[in-house]
Amino acid sequence: MKNIVIGKKSEIDKRAIIGQKTGRKIKSRKLSIGRKAKIRSNSVIYEGSKIGNNLETGHNVLIREENVIGNNLCIWTNSIIDYRCKIGNNVKIQNNCYVAQFTTIEDDAFLGPGVVIANDRYPVSPSTPKYLKGPVIKKGAKIGANVTLLPGVTIGEYSLIGGGAVVVSDIPPGSVAFGNPAAVKKTIDQLINPYSKKKVYAKILPKLKKILKKK
Amino acid sequence: MKNIVIGKKSEIDKRAIIGQKTGRKIKSRKLSIGRKAKIRSNSVIYEGSKIGNNLETGHNVLIREENVIGNNLCIWTNSIIDYRCKIGNNVKIQNNCYVAQFTTIEDDAFLGPGVVIANDRYPVSPSTPKYLKGPVIKKGAKIGANVTLLPGVTIGEYSLIGGGAVVVSDIPPGSVAFGNPAAVKKTIDQLINPYSKKKVYAKILPKLKKILKKK
Amino acid sequence: MKNIVIGKKSEIDKRAIIGQKTGRKIKSRKLSIGRKAKIRSNSVIYEGSKIGNNLETGHNVLIREENVIGNNLCIWTNSIIDYRCKIGNNVKIQNNCYVAQFTTIEDDAFLGPGVVIANDRYPVSPSTPKYLKGPVIKKGAKIGANVTLLPGVTIGEYSLIGGGAVVVSDIPPGSVAFGNPAAVKKTIDQLINPYSKKKVYAKILPKLKKILKKK
């Protein structure tokens, strides 16, 4: 179909739907997906998004329109990216997640299973950026299983949000936060692997230091 | 097929399943869906429900048997309405929600993404109304992202339940409640838009007053 | 297809996918499913699992490879069992659940809707048992709606975890636990049905006693 460009060496299950029409008015209906995409059964990708190389989806994944997505996105079964999100490179989204409109997810971020992202502080608002504020998940942040992110919160670089947390306010870079409401309990620097007795995120700490210096 | 009536001007994706058989014994197998339904790919609607006009579903939506549903239901991708629920007019159910058997949702209510509704206080009980108590979500109530509603709770008219809350007891009308367990923190009258400095729910407050007077 | 054995009297929807290939290296690609399976539309069962008799799935269920599953599993719409899990007999998994790799679920256990199971304490780890620890849900345990189970926790025999709980540490047998973090609040012995005034789990208590004696 015109308006759909899919890179070479892609494997698309015959039951996937590529280029689904939206009822919304959008600027461009062009859908481009990079090389080596692997899209599994009953996943639906709307028109009007730009997706990099090596996209890999589970089954029944939904990616709506007007998304800009980098290379190497893995998004597993039943997860949804709603419209007008910005997603960087090397992002991994586990099963059963919901990424709300206007969410930003930077490079190397990770969403565990069942993460739910909200964008509307006082529902039901009009679907425009004036009213809806998606969270910003900064570079390398990791969001645990079944976490809820409230509208407009920022999760700092390389922070780890513990499973089941409800994040209602910004979390600084390099933090470990959990609970309802989520509170910062320590820094990722303090996480020690119980077996090796080494720092869990030793490789990340120099990158985090650079970021903290700049701020 | 006989037993299935679908109103005029409806658009039903060829991959949707309309009139799926149930293994349960039910009084009537008739499925009626009103005018202008829009049902997207791989959604499944069972026999034996009555649904009003302007139904709109996302992808992979499941609506089971013996439901009575009003006009203008929007229900987005991967959400499920289990059997024997009562749903009013103008209800909006976001993505990845689960509405348990015997739930009542009144007019104008809103369920954010990932809402999970329970109905069985001491699982596993027999699937009858004697044992299973679905929540009652009263007119205009708004349930935030990833909220859990425990069996039999009532959410009062126009109340707002904050994201990630776990509601274990009744919430009075016009309340703002959140936390685990959810507690009433203020009233919707007190919510001020930070930009306009106006009351967020100004239009709703007169309706709420009427309801509070009656009680 | 060779490598796929399905027992007699099974009903498999034509839109289900049985024997889906995995990209992972696995020891055996043989998939066996016992007698009287009932598999509904768009459910996907990977190669390389062994499943007992009377499997019943909802729609869009995903069961990955290298799982060993007993008889009488019921797993409802949109739920996922990731790879390398061990699941006993008579297990019931409600809608929208996610069961992570390396999870053990013993006989007679129950997962309510929206349960999310984690296995990676410090994401993102390599997908091996050295790093990933799934929870162990012991015989007859009941996990409430939208509960989060953190990596490696054990839920004791016949315990009941209340809806919305976040379980971060082991729960002893016969406990009632809830909250975030989940704490033991009472024992199942203390649960009284408000109508009949009888103990809710009267039939289970002798079995629990035997287990507690052995420990």
User: What integer pLDDT is reported at residue A13 of this predicted model?
Assistant: 97
Residue B97 DSSP one-character state: -
Instruction: Among A116, A122, A123, select the one facing B146 at the smallest CB separation.
Output: A116
On whether the CB atoms of residues C45 and C16 are closer than 8 A, the answer is yes
What is the span of the domain harbouring residue A149? Answer: 4-189
User: What integer pLDDT is reported at residue B128 of this predicted model?
Assistant: 86
User: What integer pLDDT is reported at residue B2 of this predicted model?
Assistant: 78
Q: Is residue A17 one of the residues assigned to a domain? A: yes
Sign of CA dihedral C182, A105, C77, B64: positive
Q: Is residue A15 one of the residues assigned to a domain? A: yes
**Rg of chain A (C-alpha set):** 18
Q: Which chain C residues contact residue A191 at CB under 8 A?
A: 122
Q: Is residue A85 one of the residues assigned to a domain? A: yes
Whether the predicted pLDDT of A1 surpasses 80: no
- Partner-chain contact B60 C58, CB within 8 Å: no
Whether the predicted pLDDT of B191 surpasses 80: yes
User: What integer pLDDT is reported at residue B135 of this predicted model?
Assistant: 98
Task: List all residues of chain C from 87 to 146 with a beta carbon under 8 Å from chain B.
Answer: 92, 94-96, 110, 112-114, 142, 144-146
| Touching partners of C (3+ C-beta pairs < 8 Å) | A, B
d(CA C62, CA A74): 17
Nearest CA in chain C to B124: C110
Q: Which chain B residues contact residue A123 at CB under 8 A?
A: 110, 112, 142, 144, 160
Average pLDDT over residues C100-125: 96
Amino acid, single-letter form, for residue C166: V
User: What integer pLDDT is reported at residue A172 of this predicted model?
Assistant: 98
Q: Is residue B211 one of the residues assigned to a domain? A: no
Amino acid, single-letter form, for residue B203: K
Q: How confident is the model at residue A3 (pLDDT cuts 50, 70, 90)?
A: very high
Give pLDDT tens digits for B129-172. 888 999 999 999 999 999 999 999 999 999 999 999 999 999 99
Total residues found in chain B within this entry: 215
User: What integer pLDDT is reported at residue C7 of this predicted model?
Assistant: 97
Strand ranges of the sheet holding B154-155, from the earlier edge strand across to the other edge:
B4-6, B31-33, B50-51, B68-69, B86-87, B104-105, B136-137, B154-155
Q: Is residue B49 one of the residues assigned to a domain? A: yes
Q: Is residue B213 one of the residues assigned to a domain? A: no
Instruction: Among A41, A163, A193, select the one facing C148 at the smallest CB separation.
Output: A163
Element (H, E) at B192: none
Task: Provide the CATH number for the domain around residue C128.
Answer: 2.160.10.10
| C160 in reach of chain B (CB within 8 A) | yes
| A4 in reach of chain C (CB within 8 A) | no
Query: Residues of chain C with pLDDT > 70: what percent?
Result: 100
Q: How confident is the model at residue C128 (pLDDT cuts 50, 70, 90)?
A: confident
Identify from B13, B75, B94, B143 which residue to disrupt to test chain A contact, counting A C-beta atoms within 10 A and taking the largest count: B94
The contacts of residue B51 (CB under 8 Å, 6+ apart) are B31, B32, B33, B34, B37, B45, B63, B67, B69, B73
Instruction: Among C60, C122, C166, select the one facing A164 at the smallest CB separation.
Output: C166
The contacts of residue B7 (CB under 8 Å, 6+ apart) are B33, B34, B35, B36, B37, B53
Whether the predicted pLDDT of C33 surpasses 80: yes
| B191 in reach of chain A (CB within 8 A) | yes
User: What integer pLDDT is reported at residue C202 of this predicted model?
Assistant: 95
What pTM, to 2 d.p., does this model score?
0.97
Q: Is residue B205 one of the residues assigned to a domain? A: no
Average pLDDT over residues C204-213: 95
Please give the tally of structural domains in chain C. Answer: 1
Q: How far is B89 from chain C (nearest CA, A)?
A: 25
Give pLDDT tens digits for A122-133. 998 888 888 899
The contacts of residue C156 (CB under 8 Å, 6+ apart) are C138, C141, C170, C171, C172, C173, C174, C175
- Partner-chain contact B144 A124, CB within 8 Å: no
Instruction: Among C41, C95, C200, select the one facing B98 at the smallest CB separation.
Output: C95
User: What integer pLDDT is reported at residue B43 of this predicted model?
Assistant: 98
User: What integer pLDDT is reported at residue A169 of this predicted model?
Assistant: 98
Average pLDDT over residues B33-41: 98
Q: Is residue A110 one of the residues assigned to a domain? A: yes
- Partner-chain contact A62 B41, CB within 8 Å: no
Give pLDDT tens digits for C62-84. 999 999 999 999 999 999 999 99
